[in-house]
């Protein structure tokens, strides 16, 4: 398989613990093994990408497990030769988390001091402890591979639970990565997410088979199967959006339940079971989970997740993010019950307040939290563009197209292009004015293009405000042919002059003489180079004129500091030469600011 990394052998490393022990928040471990997988290009100092896996995930990111015939990695479509995370370029490493049950030391591991599973004696640990085990592992791997210098990752990637580990890592140890990807995550669990975990853990600890955590020597050794299955069922509901659950199951009935023999139907009725497909689905998810996960591991991992709060640890989220040095990409998903877009935007806002490099994208897959694992077409394009940006090509005709707007910006200023499209104007500003620039875009295809040129881009509906961007963060806000396309031009201007000292606004002038002629004599809207759309297929929803714009500025208390009017026709130029901008200009470029 040309697009697969091939067979990936799991490996185990025994950590060299400083002083012979590792102190966690709840005790001491004197022996830690880490199960991990690695694949891709030969490991170098500048090409290591480390993955923090999801809550009940494992180290098998991509490839074929030994003994299997098909690839089975949890990010198979993202990682591989020629894929978004290209294994021809990057060396991929993922390790199972401390406290888990997939090979790294956890409650079900044998305690070398007793010869029995740790069970209830396994020390409670925090996110910090789990991340520090990763760091010890990577440092040791670095030395074993003969790499020079201190361990530093090209990129650190995590989604969900793993994304919160990335948050902890980039804040506490900011020198250990160049880039960080935080996907479907937050800096602390919200109350609803906490509640799901509380109920899930209670399902396990209230199961008599849990036995306080020491169940490995009793019965089949799997302990509280009923409680663990229930915890998984509850959690699984949160991984899918309401819309997806409705689409997949609605109130449809499960045929084998409906058609079951009378005695089986009576047994189900006596147990208050239903015939709904969703019940069958959740039963299946619970049973499947029992085959691969341990109840004690679930308790330890979810508790460490619940207790983490970056803002609490560092005084505030702003203070936490002020420590970050990595260039960050934050991604949220629509329909995510666990991690909302607002929580992602809060991270972005705090990073921006300290002048950090960050991009943000919100993807409306409609599938919910698990979308970052199952619906990755757009995510893969974004991740690929973020990890390996191309060198943008600025053409001379593009410089000519924007020359009047760029002339209004002083060299070296910080700009934001609201409605940046594919990033062309940002690239022109950077090359011709040495500007530092970011973009705002809602169309995902254009967003990817702008990001792939190395720009920081925020996915945002300008009509809904730019709340994630701090006040007066930029020198100049650019609105190039954006004003007439939004629903709330007044609100957008207010936002532009909240986040920037000045705004440069360009728009087609609907009072231009040719438009008046076409409407007055032909009785129809014109189609021209300046307005190349039929009325039924135009993005323009406001017919703004220069005089209308001036009246709006007067009403809002904005001063017009500079005006440039454009016309490609001799008569329009003649009208402009005698001062008739509203009649002669096909396009207006205005620099405004608050009085």
Question: Is residue 191 in some structural domain?
Answer: no
State the pTM of this model. Answer: 0.94
Question: Is residue 359 in some structural domain?
Answer: no
Task: State the SS3 of 184-197.
Answer: CCCCECCHHHHHHH
510 and 578 together in one domain: yes
Site of tokens 């803002």: 311
416 and 480 together in one domain: yes
127 and 212 together in one domain: no
Neighbours of 448 (CB within 10 A): 22
Question: Is residue 546 in some structural domain?
Answer: yes
Last residue of a domain, one of 287, 302, 317: 302
Q: Which residues are catalytic?
A: 160, 336, 369
Residue-number span of the structural domain to which 141 is assigned: 1-38+59-70+90-147
| Full pLDDT tens readout for the chain, 595 residues | 678 999 999 999 999 999 999 999 999 999 999 999 999 999 999 999 999 999 999 999 999 999 998 999 999 999 999 999 999 999 999 999 999 999 999 999 999 999 999 999 999 999 999 999 999 999 999 999 999 999 999 999 999 999 999 999 999 999 999 999 999 999 999 999 999 999 999 999 999 999 999 999 887 778 999 999 999 999 999 999 999 999 999 999 999 888 889 998 899 888 898 999 999 999 999 999 999 999 999 999 999 999 999 999 999 999 999 999 999 999 999 999 999 999 999 999 999 999 999 999 999 887 899 999 998 999 999 999 999 999 999 999 999 999 999 999 999 999 999 999 999 999 999 999 999 999 999 999 999 999 999 999 999 998 888 999 999 999 999 999 998 889 999 999 999 999 999 999 999 998 888 888 888 877 777 777 666 777 677 777 788 899 999 999 999 999 999 999 999 899 999 998 999 999 999 999 999 999 8
Last residue of a domain, one of 267, 302, 337: 302
Which CATH number do you get for residue 294?
1.10.1740.110
User: Three-class SS of residue 494?
Assistant: helix
128 and 203 together in one domain: no
Question: Is residue 2 in some structural domain?
Answer: yes
Structure tokens at 229: 């299955």
Considering its fold, how many domains does the chain have in total? 3
Nearest to residue 324, comparing CAs of 173, 456, 187?
173
Which CATH number do you get for residue 499?
3.40.50.150
Structure tokens at 112: 């070398």
Our separate counts of H helices and E strands in the chain read 23, 21
Q: What are phi and psi of 398, to 5 degrees?
A: -70, -40
- Direct distance between the N- and C-terminal alpha carbons of the chain, in angstroms, rounded to an integer: 64
135 and 261 together in one domain: no
Distance CA 372, CA 379 (A): 7
114 and 220 together in one domain: no
Which CATH number do you get for residue 125?
3.40.50.1820
133 and 205 together in one domain: no
Question: Is residue 470 in some structural domain?
Answer: yes
208 and 132 together in one domain: no
Distance CA 490, CA 485 (A): 12
141 and 212 together in one domain: no
Structure tokens at 51: 């993955």
Question: Is residue 4 in some structural domain?
Answer: yes
Mark 156-172 as b/e (b = at least 16 C-beta within 10 Å).
bbbbbbbbbbbbbbbbb
Last residue of a domain, one of 302, 320, 348: 302
Please give the torsion angle defined by the CA atoms of residues 135, 141, 143 and 149, in that order, rounded to the nearest 10 degrees. Answer: -50
203 and 143 together in one domain: no
512 and 432 together in one domain: yes
DSSP secondary structure letters along 272-301: T---BHHHHHHHHHHHHHHTT--HHHHHHH
With a CB cutoff of 8 Å and minimum separation 6, the contacts of 396 are: none
Question: Is residue 486 in some structural domain?
Answer: yes
Nearest to residue 102, comparing CAs of 12, 39, 23?
12
Task: State the SS3 of 527-560.
Answer: CCCCCCCCHHHCCCCCCCCHHHHHHHHHHHCEEE
Site of tokens 């001091």: 113
Question: Is residue 361 in some structural domain?
Answer: no
520 and 587 together in one domain: yes
């Amino acid at each position: 398989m040309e697009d697969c990394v091939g067979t990936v052998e799991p490996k185990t490393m025994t950590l060299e613990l400083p002083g012979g022990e590792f102190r966690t928040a709840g005790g001491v471990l004197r022996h830690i093994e880490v199960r991990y997988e690695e694949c891709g290009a030969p490991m170098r100092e500048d090409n290591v990408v480390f993955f923090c896996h999801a809550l009940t995930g494992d180290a098998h990111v991509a490839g074929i497990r030994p003994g299997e015939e098909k690839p089975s990695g949890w990010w198979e479509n993202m990682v591989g030769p020629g894929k978004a995370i290209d294994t021809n370029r990057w060396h991929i490493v993922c390790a199972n988390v401390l406290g888990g049950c997939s090979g790294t030391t956890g409650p079900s591991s044998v305690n070398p001091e007793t010869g029995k599973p740790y069970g209830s004696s396994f020390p409670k640990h925090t996110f910090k402890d789990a991340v520090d085990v990763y760091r010890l592992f990577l440092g040791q791997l670095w030395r074993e591979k003969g790499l020079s210098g201190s361990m530093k990752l090209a990129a650190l990637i995590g989604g969900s639970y793993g994304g919160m580990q990335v948050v902890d890592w980039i804040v506490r140890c900011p020198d250990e990565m160049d880039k960080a990807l935080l996907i479907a995550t937050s800096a602390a669990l919200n109350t609803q997410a906490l509640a799901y975990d509380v109920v899930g853990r209670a399902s396990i600890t209230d199961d008599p088979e849990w036995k306080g955590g020491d169940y490995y020597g009793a019965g089949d050794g799997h302990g509280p199967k009923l409680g663990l299955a229930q915890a998984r069922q509850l959690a699984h509901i949160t991984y899918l959006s309401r819309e997806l659950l409705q689409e997949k199951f609605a109130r449809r009935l499960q045929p084998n339940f409906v058609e079951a023999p009378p005695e089986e139907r009576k047994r189900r009725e006596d147990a208050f079971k239903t015939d709904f497909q969703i019940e069958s689905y959740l039963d299946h998810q619970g049973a499947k989970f029992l085959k691969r996960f341990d109840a004690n591991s679930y308790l330890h991992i979810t508790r460490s997740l619940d207790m983490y709060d970056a803002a609490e640890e560092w005084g505030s989220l702003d203070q936490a993010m002020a420590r970050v040095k990595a260039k960050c990409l934050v991604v949220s998903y629509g329909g995510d019950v666990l991690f909302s877009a607002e929580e992602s935007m809060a991270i972005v806002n705090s990073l921006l307040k300290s002048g950090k490099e960050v991009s943000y994208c919100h993807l409306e897959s409609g599938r919910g939290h698990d979308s970052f694992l199952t619906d990755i077409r757009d995510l893969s394009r974004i991740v690929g563009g973020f990890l390996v940006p191309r060198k943008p090509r600025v053409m001379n005709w593009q410089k000519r197209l924007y020359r009047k707007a760029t002339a209004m910006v002083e060299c070296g200023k910080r700009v934001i292009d609201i409605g940046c499209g594919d990033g062309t104007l940002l690239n022109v500003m950077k090359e011709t004015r040495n500007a530092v620039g970011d973009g705002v875009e809602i169309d995902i295809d254009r967003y990817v293009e702008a990001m792939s040129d190395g720009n920081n881009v925020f996915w945002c509906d300008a009509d809904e405000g730019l709340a994630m961007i701090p006040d007066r963060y930029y020198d100049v806000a650019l609105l190039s042919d954006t004003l007439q396309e939004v629903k709330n031009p007044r609100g957008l201007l207010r936002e532009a002059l909240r986040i920037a000292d000045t705004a440069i606004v360009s728009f087609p002038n609907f009072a231009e003489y040719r438009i008046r002629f076409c409407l007055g004599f032909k009785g129809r809207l014109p189609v021209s180079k300046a307005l190349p759309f039929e009325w039924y297929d135009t993005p323009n929803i406001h017919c703004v004129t220069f005089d209308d714009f001036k009246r709006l500025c007067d009403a809002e208390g904005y001063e017009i500091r500079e005006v440039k009017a454009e016309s490609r026709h001799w008569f329009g130029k003649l009208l402009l030469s005698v001062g008739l901008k509203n009649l002669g200009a096909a396009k207006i470029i205005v620099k405004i600011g608050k009085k």
